[in-house]
Amino acid sequence: MKVISASDLRANLANVLDSIENDAEDLVVTRSGHEPMVVMLKSDYDAWRETEYLSRGANGRELRRRAADMEAGARVGGDLVDPGR
């Protein structure tokens, strides 16, 4: 993850945004006396939010349980769906 000051970002905004888009790498922006911020691709942000949402509540508990079962070697199965039917 790259780090840049707010003043450097301001001076090079177009180039920095192009770099984020081309490299798909998040950017941390720092400002003196302020909390750092992250700039990322919208598609990466959307994926992160969806993952965060699915990790909460009953969904998250079920996902963690199934992942633990798989890691323990438990057989995870289900019926295959034949899309031609």
Q: Digits of tens for pLDDT over the chain (85 positions)?
A: 899 999 999 999 999 999 999 999 999 999 999 999 999 999 999 999 998 888 888 888 888 888 898 889 877 666 767 777 6
Give this prediction's pTM: 0.66
- Is residue 29 a contact partner of residue 6, using CB atoms and an 8 Å limit? yes
What fold is seen in the domain 2-40? YefM-like fold (3.40.1620)
Domain with CATH 3.40.1620.10 in the chain: 2-40
Contacts (Cβ under 8 Å, ≥6 apart) of 5 = 29, 30, 31
- Is residue 51 a contact partner of residue 28, using CB atoms and an 8 Å limit? no
